[in-house]
Amino acid sequence: MSLLVYGILSENTVNLNHIAESLPYWAKNGSLYKRFIRFFDKKMDLRGVGLFLLKRFLFLLFQVLKKKIKLYLIIDRHEWHYGKKVNNLLTVMIYEPSLNIGLPIQAIDLNIKGNSSFFERELLLEEIYKVLREPLEKDLIEVEVLGDREFLGEEWEDYLGKKFGSYTLRVRKDYRVVGERTVRDIFEEMVSGEVREIRRDGWRVVIKRLEGSNDRRDECLALVTLDMESEAEEVIERYRDRWRTERMYFNMESNGFRISKTHFRDSSKIEMLFYVMVICYYLSEVVGKVKEKIGDEGRKSVFLRGLRKLKRILRGILVREVEKIWDILLEYERRLRNELIFALVAKGVQ
């Protein structure tokens, strides 16, 4: 599968016929396994795959929505261990709320336990910004960065504000709000369910004392944001979309690709594996959205609908016909656009 999807998206550098001939459908499993190992031994930089899919994702959204698009960039980490080796993927996910479609697009294996540095985060987002800069400058899209408590710092917040214009980040209780007063000082004055906000010059902090939490550490939800117009509850509701990353990691593991079960140790191989998975993730989301619109497969998630249909497509096509796979998947993408445009017109939204 790795060689197939890599060949599909690398037409300028890889001969598809050669790939098809090198993977005959009658080859033994052991032989295929060795070829996959040799593929990952090449240690190629596949970050362009994520950026390519980001461009396709934007193209799909512009075709369907035909209006200014709101996008979230969600930054988070996914960590697992294999013996003494720590695999720690710093990932960026893009999510569009109105269509409820999201996918991972960039990652770096930090190769150590713990949080990332400003340099590593900047490295990821700079490449994404290059893709988003033109539609941002033309006011075709609005971008907001969402992140948890570990993604803080004055330099980092300044960077996000200058590049993307907006962010909503969860802050710790020791975060200073006004002078020496911290989030903790304000939180201790609040009752269960109460919401407060403190506005400063160009930014504000929204604090909510959560109801019914068994974890005292998580009773306090405090967010710093550059959004000065939305209601406090709207900011809190928007931040909840950050949990899309948890669903993404669930799909990357037990619900779909099981990437930690490969037992890779080398960071370059792990990153290659991630980008191969990103291709399959994007196709699963697109195909799943089509099947959702036509009412297939009951209550299954969009991702699972797409993944299962994708497996059936690939099982039904001989490896020698690999060039047809991309055409079939593009047809699903076209159907998605048509289905959604028809639905919007029917509701009088367009």
Give a yes or no: residue 202 inside a domain: yes
Mean pLDDT of 292-297: 60
Q: What is the pLDDT of residue 298?
A: 56
- Residue 323 near residue 329, CB atoms below 8 Å: no
Enclosing H/E stretch for 181: strand 181-182
Q: In the predicted model, is pLDDT for residue 222 greater than 90?
A: yes
Q: Which of 195, 225, 255 is the last residue of a domain?
A: 225
How far is Cα 173 from Cα 209, in angstroms, rounded to an integer? 12
Q: In the predicted model, is pLDDT for residue 271 greater than 50?
A: yes
Tokens of 344: 């919007």
Q: What is the pLDDT of residue 30?
A: 60
Q: What is the average pLDDT value for the chain, to the nearest integer?
A: 80
| Percent residues over pLDDT 70 in the chain | 78
Q: In the predicted model, is pLDDT for residue 270 greater than 80?
A: yes
Q: Which of 205, 225, 245 is the last residue of a domain?
A: 225
Mean pLDDT of 253-281: 83
- What pairing do the DSSP bridges indicate for beta strands 141-147 and 101-109? unpaired
| Percent residues over pLDDT 90 in the chain | 28
Question: Which range has the worst mean pLDDT, 12-16, 66-70, 148-152, 345-349?
Answer: 12-16
- What pairing do the DSSP bridges indicate for beta strands 85-96 and 101-109? antiparallel
Degrees to nearest 5, angle at CA 279 with 277 and 285: 100
* pLDDT, greater one: 262 or 58: 58
288: left (phi over 0), alpha (psi -120 to 50) or beta: alpha
Give a yes or no: residue 70 inside a domain: no
Select, from the ranges 59-73, 294-308, 314-328, the one with the highest average predicted confidence (pLDDT): 59-73
Q: In the predicted model, is pLDDT for residue 66 greater than 90?
A: no
Question: Cα–Cα distances in Å, from 24 out to 19, 29, 231?
Answer: 9, 11, 59
Q: Which residues make beta-bridge pairs with 281?
A: none
Number of domains in the chain: 2
Give a yes or no: residue 290 inside a domain: yes
Where does residue 240 rank: exposed (0-12), middle (13-18), buried (19+ CB within 10 A)?
Answer: exposed
Q: What is the pLDDT of residue 239?
A: 92
Condensed to tens digits (0 to 9), the pLDDT of residues 97-119 reads: 988 888 999 999 888 888 888 99
Q: In the predicted model, is pLDDT for residue 213 greater than 70?
A: no
Tokens of 121: 């985060």
Give a yes or no: residue 60 inside a domain: no
Task: Tell me: do 217 and 278 sit in the same domain.
Answer: no
> What stretches of 41-175 adopt beta strand conformation (E)?
69-82, 85-96, 101-109, 141-147, 167-170
- What pairing do the DSSP bridges indicate for beta strands 85-96 and 69-82? antiparallel
pLDDT band at 95 (very low <50, low <70, confident <90, very high): very high
* pLDDT, greater one: 225 or 327: 225
Nearby residues of 186 by Cβ (< 8 Å), 6 or more positions away? 177, 196, 198, 207
Q: In the predicted model, is pLDDT for residue 15 greater than 90?
A: no
Condensed to tens digits (0 to 9), the pLDDT of residues 19-57 reads: 444 444 445 556 666 777 777 777 778 888 899 999 989
Give a yes or no: residue 121 inside a domain: no
Residue type, position 40, single letter: F
Give a yes or no: residue 54 inside a domain: no
* pLDDT, greater one: 108 or 17: 108
Q: What are phi and psi of 224, to 5 degrees?
A: -105, 135
Tokens of 329: 């998947």
Buried-state track 77-108, b at ≥16 Cβ within 10 A, e below 16? bbeeeeeeeebbbbbbbbbbeebebbbbbbbb
Give a yes or no: residue 304 inside a domain: yes
Where does residue 214 rank: exposed (0-12), middle (13-18), buried (19+ CB within 10 A)?
Answer: exposed
Residue range of the domain that includes 314: 2-44+265-346
Enclosing H/E stretch for 182: strand 181-182
Give a yes or no: residue 294 inside a domain: yes
Q: What is the pLDDT of residue 217?
A: 56
